[in-house]
Amino acid sequence: MILYSWNVNGFRAVLNKGYWEWFRQVDADVVGLQEVKIQQDQLAEESCKAPGYQDYWNCCQVKKGYSGVACYTRNHPLSVALDLPLAPFQDEGRVIQLEFPKFYYFNVYFPNGQMSQARLDYKLGFYDAFLTYAQNLRQTKPIVVCGDFNTAHKEIDLKNPQANAATSGFLPIERAWMDKFIDSGYVDTFRMFNDQPGQYTWWTYRFGARSRNAGWRIDYFFVSRELVPAVRRAWIEPEVMGSDHCPVGLELEVERP
């Protein structure tokens, strides 16, 4: 199975920047999108459909043009769930969970903590709620998690670690949660194959950051440890434009549903 994840920073915006050409070219089994910024009443548009794929959307309920995630899958999921089971972490359209025969798949747009201390606290609470939920499901079958984690884990994962040490997205407390997540049995699939610096998935639109490759790696595919033997490839596609993020991919050697 080929899986992709991409924070598109606005689904309708990326449609005018070659999205469907990219989608057809990658020919993926599952594509998870984050920050789609679209409302439920706008989903009837034909532009949201892909022939041969089922699509699932979780739109933000509390603020227009904000957050939201979507999944396109050509494989029929056994079940579909939206959001986390705790009320404080619902309504912002941040999670789609698909169940396949061999694993649970999560597409998640984790919160950004830069706006205020309250949002940082919300982000950290969301992190813990997600890990608890995933660990419970993991007792049944393995886990695949993709999406924008809004945290660069290690110094190698951003261009200027010292300058950003006090910035949400690289705070010690956020990085400590990433350590906790990994210690709980989750593996950063990209780092299984590539241990080089300069591998980023997000670049600010300011200061010509992308042309200078002054970025952050905050978009990931993680798998629970028991699924590691099935991982064949993991990669990023920094050459794909259309958003301030680029797509990331994962190939698993598992039987298609």
- What does the alpha-carbon distance between residue 101 and residue 257 come to, in Å, rounded to a whole number? 7
Catalytic residues, which ones?
109, 148, 245
- Cβ-count burial of 91 within 10 angstroms (0-12 exposed, 13-18 middle, 19+ buried)? middle
**pLDDT beyond 80 at 46:** no
**pLDDT beyond 70 at 96:** yes
Greater pLDDT, 68 or 255: 68
User: Any binding-site annotation on 148?
Assistant: yes
Q: What confidence score (pLDDT) does residue 160 get?
A: 95
**pLDDT beyond 90 at 196:** yes
Q: What confidence score (pLDDT) does residue 257 get?
A: 67
Could you tell me the two tokens for 248? 């990331």
The stretch 1-30 carries a mean pLDDT of: 97
User: Any binding-site annotation on 29?
Assistant: no
**pLDDT beyond 90 at 43:** no
- Interval 223-237: pLDDT, tens: 999 999 999 999 999
Instruction: Kindly list the domain boundaries of the chain, sorted by start residue.
Output: 2-252
User: Any binding-site annotation on 128?
Assistant: no
The stretch 96-108 carries a mean pLDDT of: 98
Q: Give the helix ranges, DSSP H, for the chain.
A: 11-15, 19-26, 117-138, 172-183, 190-193
User: Average model confidence (pLDDT) for the chain?
Assistant: 96
CB 182 within 8 A of CB 151: no
**pLDDT beyond 70 at 218:** yes
Instruction: Summarize the chain as % helix, strand, coil (round to 5).
Output: 30, 25, 45
User: Any binding-site annotation on 245?
Assistant: yes
Q: What confidence score (pLDDT) does residue 176 get?
A: 98
Q: How many residues does the chain have?
A: 257
**pLDDT beyond 80 at 256:** no
DSSP three-state, residue 155: helix
Q: What confidence score (pLDDT) does residue 44 get?
A: 79
DSSP three-state, residue 18: coil
**pLDDT beyond 90 at 120:** yes
Q: Is 133 left (phi over 0), alpha (psi -120 to 50) or beta?
A: alpha
User: Any binding-site annotation on 55?
Assistant: no
User: Any binding-site annotation on 150?
Assistant: yes
The stretch 199-216 carries a mean pLDDT of: 96
Percent of the chain with pLDDT over 70: 100
Write out the CATH class of domain 2-252. alpha beta
- What does the alpha-carbon distance between residue 88 and residue 212 come to, in Å, rounded to a whole number? 39
